[in-house]
Amino acid sequence: AQTVTQSQPEMSVQEAETVTLSCTYDTSENNYYLFWYKQPPSRQMILVIRQEAYKQQNATENRFSVNFQKAAKSFSLKISDSQLGDTAMYFCAFMKPGGSNYKLTFGKGTLLTVNP
Amino acid sequence: SQTIHQWPATLVQPVGSPLSLECTVEGTSNPNLYWYRQAAGRGLQLLFYSVGIGQISSEVPQNLSASRPQDRQFILSSKKLLLSDSGFYLCASTPQGSRNIQYFGAGTRLSVL
């Protein structure tokens, strides 16, 4: 079974600065997907970014980028130019494709606070 | 793009009462559907998933059940709620043609007293 570990329960950053959230995972699969979801105080789960394991290029979405290290099974999220609206719980998640399930396995989350 | 509706948004129920949470999806057909529970301060636990009408898979033994009476409708139920059923319940969908991305509804906050 896959496991996802987020070792930072809480982090804080000053507005306009850069912060990196860590995620490691354990799997014997070679093909899979990794995700970062954001859960603001409203508790709506919002997809931030997705990485396909067979792609070496790191995914980027505006101020959000990942550092995907497949051999190390590491998938960190970098948030540049942090904004107050980035304050949220961030979850790293793993998906093994194939079959019909497409289930997600989540880490326990990192609470990010952006300070003015 | 698809939209996922969940209701109610908030629910307070006494121990021993029944439960019915509903999730409907717009904008896609034949989605995979999922129910997650999020306990306070914790991550998401997958409860049930469904790949088609009437097809339900349970991930953990518990006091809850799920049903999928229509293609884009997913219901979470209980005959008798327990205190431990309190939490935040999220419905998710992977649309046909894009199974490798899950989208979430706004969730239902359930308090069992």
- What are the tens digits of pLDDT across the range B4-30? 999 999 999 999 999 999 999 999 989
Compute the distance between CA of residue B51 and CA of residue B20 in angstroms, rounded to an integer.
20
Compute the distance between CA of residue B102 and CA of residue B91 in angstroms, rounded to an integer.
10
Please answer yes or no on whether A107 and B99 come within 8 Å at the CB atom: no
Residue A45 with chain B: CB contacts under 8 Å: 44, 90, 92, 104, 107
Compute the distance between CA of residue A102 and CA of residue B59 in angstroms, rounded to an integer.
13
CA-nearest residue of chain A to B87? A43
Query: Can you give the pLDDT at residue B98?
Result: 80
CA-nearest residue of chain A to B34? A103
Which of A104, A107, A108 shows the shortest C-beta gap to B102? A104
> How close B17 comes to chain A (CA, Å)?
25
Average pLDDT over residues B39-68: 88
Compute the distance between CA of residue A82 and CA of residue A78 in angstroms, rounded to an integer.
10
Please answer yes or no on whether A91 and B43 come within 8 Å at the CB atom: yes
> How close B79 comes to chain A (CA, Å)?
26
Token pair of B112 as six digits: 């069992």
CA-nearest residue of chain A to B44? A106
Per-residue pLDDT of chain A (116 residues; tens, 9 = 90+): 789 999 999 999 999 999 999 999 999 888 899 999 999 988 889 999 999 999 989 999 999 999 999 999 999 999 999 999 999 999 999 998 766 678 899 999 999 999 99
Which of A46, A52, A103 shows the shortest C-beta gap to B46? A103
Q: Where residue B40 falls among pLDDT bands split at 50, 70, 90?
A: confident
Measured between CB atoms, does B98 come within 8 Å of chain A? no
Please answer whether residues B57 and B66 qualify as being in contact, where contact means their C-beta atoms are separated by less than 8 angstroms.
no
Query: Can you give the pLDDT at residue A99?
Result: 64
Examine the pLDDT at B1 and tell me if it is beyond 80.
no
Query: Can you give the pLDDT at residue A101?
Result: 74
Q: Is the peptide bond before B61 cis (omega within 30 degrees of 0)?
A: no
User: What percent of chain B clears pLDDT 90, i.e. is strictly above it?
Assistant: 78
